[in-house]
């Protein structure tokens, strides 16, 4: 009597008893994002790139993943928040932000991070705007981590919406005070760009991490596709405006390190847009009609997530390139 039950569950998942899930491939997000940072470093040429670029990239990816996981119940009310995973990723995000803060302080103080004294670090935190912003970001990460841990222990008393709000606010703290803040509406454009990119990447990553069955993909993928379209348009429009304002024309796209990184990021983004259009015509209808296995949908999601991770690597380095 048990055998048919197991067979039915396998059929709903869209997998066979001997197959293994490709979900482990999501671990490649880390090296691919770092490869994007390395590519940006090469494209920068003689333009200075701050040493914390790889840590910035990993922090951005972790923050986007937290945002995506917190947004999943908004995508479908039957999805319960994954509090354990949220707690872990929020803690990783906080650790990356702290590491970046240390590297920034060492650079400003003109010393190696291993030789920086507590007094020098404290001086940076107290008197430099970057340090004060870093403290605010760490407080945001800490609040998200603590509340997610509370949610894990008390799932009936916690709301993912609070995590979503705190994460969104924390993700915008650095963009609104970056180089675009000196331009008219620059802070708004930078914040909207960062949030749209984090949601586009983070929600798909969260789906790849959590969705298990063909039925869930059938419900969730069309809804994500509807979300993704305005997010993509927002990322492209705000990115083009921010980039052109920052470089002041088309010639620097080739002749400056910042421009070359921006151009590479735009090319990969355009590749993602074309891929997304193709998925919308092929993958989404087939998944919605239950004509794709869960693993087949997962593989497609992983491919897109990895390309997005490459963009995050380029974007994170671009943000701290002179």
Could you list the beta-strand ranges (E) of 134-212: none
Closest CA to 105 of 139, 131, 126, 133: 131
Closest CA to 61 of 234, 318, 321, 305: 305
Tens-binned pLDDT, residue by residue, of the chain (322 aa): 444 444 434 444 455 333 478 999 999 999 999 999 999 999 988 877 788 899 999 999 999 999 999 999 999 989 999 999 999 999 999 999 999 999 999 999 999 989 999 999 999 999 998 999 999 999 999 999 999 999 999 999 999 999 999 999 999 998 887 666 566 677 888 899 999 999 999 999 999 999 999 999 999 999 999 999 999 999 999 988 888 888 877 788 888 888 999 999 999 999 999 999 999 999 999 999 999 999 999 999 999 999 999 999 999 998 887 6
Check residue 49 and give left, alpha or beta (phi > 0: left; psi -120 to 50: alpha).
beta
24-35+51-316 CATH fold: Formate dehydrogenase/DMSO reductase fold (1.20.1630)
- Token pair belonging to 238: 């705000």
Chain centroid to CA 26? 13
Instruction: Provide the pLDDT for residue 183.
Output: 66
Instruction: Provide the pLDDT for residue 179.
Output: 60
- Token pair belonging to 116: 């920086």
Instruction: Provide the pLDDT for residue 216.
Output: 96
Half-sphere exposure (CA, 13 Å, Cβ side) for 320? 22
């Amino acid at each position: 009597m048990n055998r048919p039950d197991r067979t039915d569950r396998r059929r709903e998942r869209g997998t066979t008893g001997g197959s293994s899930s490709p979900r482990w491939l999501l671990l490649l997000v880390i090296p691919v994002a770092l490869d994007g940072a390395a590519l940006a470093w090469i494209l920068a040429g003689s333009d200075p790139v701050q040493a914390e670029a790889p840590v910035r990239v990993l922090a951005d990816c972790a923050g986007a993943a937290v945002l995506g996981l917190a947004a999943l119940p908004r995508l479908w009310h039957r999805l319960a928040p994954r509090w354990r995973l949220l707690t872990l990723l929020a803690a990783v995000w906080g650790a990356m932000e702290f590491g970046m803060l240390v590297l920034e302080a060492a650079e400003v103080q003109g010393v190696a991070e291993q030789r920086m004294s507590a007094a020098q670090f404290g001086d940076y935190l107290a008197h430099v705007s970057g340090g004060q912003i870093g403290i605010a970001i760490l407080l945001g990460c800490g609040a998200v981590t603590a509340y997610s841990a509370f949610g894990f222990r008390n799932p009936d008393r916690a709301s993912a919406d609070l995590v979503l709000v705190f994460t969104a606010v924390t993700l915008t703290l650095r963009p609104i005070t970056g180089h675009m803040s000196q331009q008219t509406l620059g802070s708004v454009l930078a914040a909207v760009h960062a949030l749209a990119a984090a949601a586009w990447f983070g929600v798909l990553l969260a789906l790849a991490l959590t969705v298990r069955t063909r039925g869930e993909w059938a419900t969730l993928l069309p809804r994500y596709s509807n979300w993704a379209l305005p997010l993509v348009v927002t990322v492209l429009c705000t990115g083009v405006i921010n980039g052109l304002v920052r470089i002041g024309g088309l010639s620097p796209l080739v002749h400056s390190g910042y421009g070359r990184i921006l151009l590479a990021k735009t090319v990969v983004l355009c590749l993602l847009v074309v891929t997304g259009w193709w998925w919308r015509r092929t993958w989404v209808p087939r998944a919605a009609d239950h004509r794709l296995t869960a693993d087949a949908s997962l593989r497609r999601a992983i491919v897109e997530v990895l390309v997005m991770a490459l963009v995050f690597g380029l974007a994170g380095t671009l943000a701290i390139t002179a």
